[in-house]
Each structure stands twice: as structure tokens, then as C-alpha cells.
Chain A
């Protein structure tokens, strides 16, 4: 990193910094996390409230997008988790819009990507995990444990399968959160590395610039797909809580 003139710091973009100076990051300090999460909420509100303000039968473009997002997630909840999961639709919609806009806003140059932090995605994933598990026990009591007892398997195999099922159940929040944070962090770090090359290569700058352009398009796709994946996994976990039988 230190050799030559090349000084690329691909992970500096992830540093949490207080907004108004100082070095101490207390739990209440307004930081760049605060700023970009506020912008995420604002952007989601702009689409879903301001965009749909016309309440028109023939929608405007913004209203059309808001309705499309609504119908998309509504259908996802209905198809994946079942009709009785519709009451949790606002939670799922909140998760989807938050992750989607955090991912998309993070693609703005010099932006801070809140969803690239494992702390954020882990809290999101653990919230889903804990509430879904609690819901499963509240709705089904001890029968919820049948989720881990595969009735269709031969009896001797069932304890082994139960252990595997239990392990995979507890790995869920880990994979759920690391998938999102990892995908975004990796993409942003790679983009930064290529951008650093562009500054260092001089006349051949266009090669990394083209690479960054292509990567940016890919990152746009990743941002949307990761939001989609995070949401649909939440729906699948919700389905397990509502219908634990295999």
C-alpha cells in the first residue's frame, strides 16, 4: 500500500465518522451512518408517500413505481409465506425499502453505504430471526420444534437430521446478514481499487475507468438483487414460523 505513489485505501469509505467533528463515536453521536440512514428513510418516503400522493386511477410515473414496489413485495409475501402472512407485510416492506434504498444510495460517489456494515445487517437479520422464532413458538408452542424433526425421513436418521436442521436454523441469521454486507462491501471496495488505479496509471487511465463503469452497472444489479434476496429470505423464514410442518 505504501510503496510508490499508489496509495489506495479501499476500506476508508466504510469508516464511521462523526458528522460534526471530533473523534469519539458515542451511541448517540450523529455520524455519517445517521446521515445516510436518514437519506434512506427520506428516499423511501419520497417514493412511497410523495410519489403516490396523486392517488390517481391512472398513475404518474412515480406513483407507478410505488405501486409496482408495493405489488411486488405484497405478491412475494403472499406467494412465499402464504395468505396469513399478509399481516406482516408492512414489516417486510420496511425491510425491503430500507435495504433497497440504502444499497442504491450507497452507489452515489462519496456516499456511505450503511448496509455494507455487518453491524447493520446483523441487527436486521437478527430482528427477523428472533421475531420469526418467537412467532413460531407463540403460534405453535412446542409443535414449532417439529420444524427440526423430519417426519418423512426414516426413524434412525431423524436425530441426525434434527441436529443438522438445528444448526442450519441458527446459521440462518449469519448467512442472511453476511451475504448482504459482504456483497456490498466487496463491490464498493473493488470499485475504489479500480478508481485508485485510474489515478495512478496516468495515460492509461481509461482502462480502469471502463472497468469501474462496467462494475458500477453490476453493482446496481447487486444492490437490487441483494435487497430482493434479503426480503425473500425473510419471507421464507416467516413461512417456517407460520407453517412449521415440512
Chain B
């Protein structure tokens, strides 16, 4: 390591004897690197970058498409919901009316039955009352006849009956 100073006392950069060597190998290296880059590396990277740009553009388009579809689906969903609600209301209304009609019918039927029963009962009461009045008349006639017989009063049956009936009528009219 002592002898190089003999040939290159100053800077090795200014040792012109090495210039042809450096220039030759520089030209070789640059040409090789240029060929590698221009033939292989740069087209490949350019393709990758273009590919990526394409992918990104496509993805953005796809995302927008999906977004539009989602909005559409939401719209459809809302529409279906509104339809379902309207249908529900319609069904509820129909059911209510049906029930109301049935209720009305049953109510009318029940009222009719009640009226019929009441009429029947009234008729029976009237019959009982009538029969009771007849019995009272008969009892009164019999009693009158018995009383008259006890007092030995001769009275024909017809006048007795007429008297009792007149009295009863007077009573009935007073009632």
C-alpha cells in the first residue's frame, strides 16, 4: 500500500491513464442498464400502473353501481312496507265492519226474541187474569146463591148471575 503514490501523487481522479478503462466500462454499464430498463423493467411497471388505474376505475364504477342498487332496493322495501300497511288497514277495516254487521244482526235477533217472549208472557198473564176473573164470578155467584139460600130467599139463578156480573163489571170498570 506504499507504492501507489509513485504513479498517482495527486488525486486518482486526474490520473488520465485510467480514463479509457472507466469510460469503456461506463458505456458498457449504461448500455446494459438501458437495454434492461427499456426492454423489460419500464414496460412492465407501466403495464402494472395502467392495470392498477383500470382496476381502481372499475372498482369505483362497481361501487357506484352497488350504491344505486342499494338505493333502489331501499325504495322497493319502503314501497312494500307502505303497501303492507295499507293492506293491513284495509283488512282491519273489513273485519271491523263484518263484526259490526254480525253484532247488529245478533242484536236484532235477540231483541226480536225478547219481544216474542214478552208478548207470550203478557198473553199468559192476560189468560190467567181472565180465568181468575171467571173464577171470581163463579165463586161470587155460588156464594151469593148459598147466602140467599141460607136466608131462604128465593131467587132465580138468572137474576143472581146478572147481579153478580153487573157488580163485577162495575168493579172491573173501576179498576
B25 touches A34 (CB 8 A): yes
Cα-based distance from A174 to B83 in the complex (angstroms): 85
B21 touches A15 (CB 8 A): no
B contacts with A, residue count (CB < 8 A): 40
Given contacts A16-B15, A185-B13, contact A94 B33 (CB under 8 A): yes
A25 touches B29 (CB 8 A): no
B55 touches A57 (CB 8 A): yes
Cα-based distance from A50 to B15 in the complex (angstroms): 37
A11 touches B12 (CB 8 A): yes
State which of B15, B34, B45, B51 has its C-beta within 8 Å of the C-beta of A57.
B51
Residues of B contacting A: mostly: helix
Cα-based distance from A41 to B30 in the complex (angstroms): 8
State which of A45, A57, A181 has its C-beta within 8 Å of the C-beta of B13.
A181
Total A-B pairs in contact (CB under 8 Å)?
135
Whether, in the assembled complex, A110 has its beta carbon less than 8 Å from a beta carbon of chain B, the answer is no
Given contacts A14-B11, A14-B13, A49-B40, contact A41 B33 (CB under 8 A): yes
Residues of A contacting B: mostly: helix
> Which chain B residue has the least Cβ–Cβ distance from A39?
B29
Cα-based distance from A114 to B156 in the complex (angstroms): 175
Cα-based distance from A185 to B55 in the complex (angstroms): 46
B151 → chain A, closest Cβ, in Å?
141
- Can you show 21 pairs from A to B with CB atoms below 8 A apart? A11-B11, A12-B4, A28-B21, A34-B25, A41-B33, A45-B33, A48-B45, A49-B41, A49-B44, A70-B46, A89-B42, A90-B38, A90-B42, A93-B42, A94-B37, A98-B33, A117-B13, A118-B13, A119-B13, A119-B18, A124-B30
Query: A residues touching B (Cβ–Cβ < 8 Å)?
Result: 9, 11-12, 14-16, 25-29, 31, 33-34, 37-38, 40-41, 44-45, 48-49, 52, 55-57, 59, 63, 66-67, 70-71, 89-91, 93-95, 97-98, 114, 116-120, 123-124, 181, 185
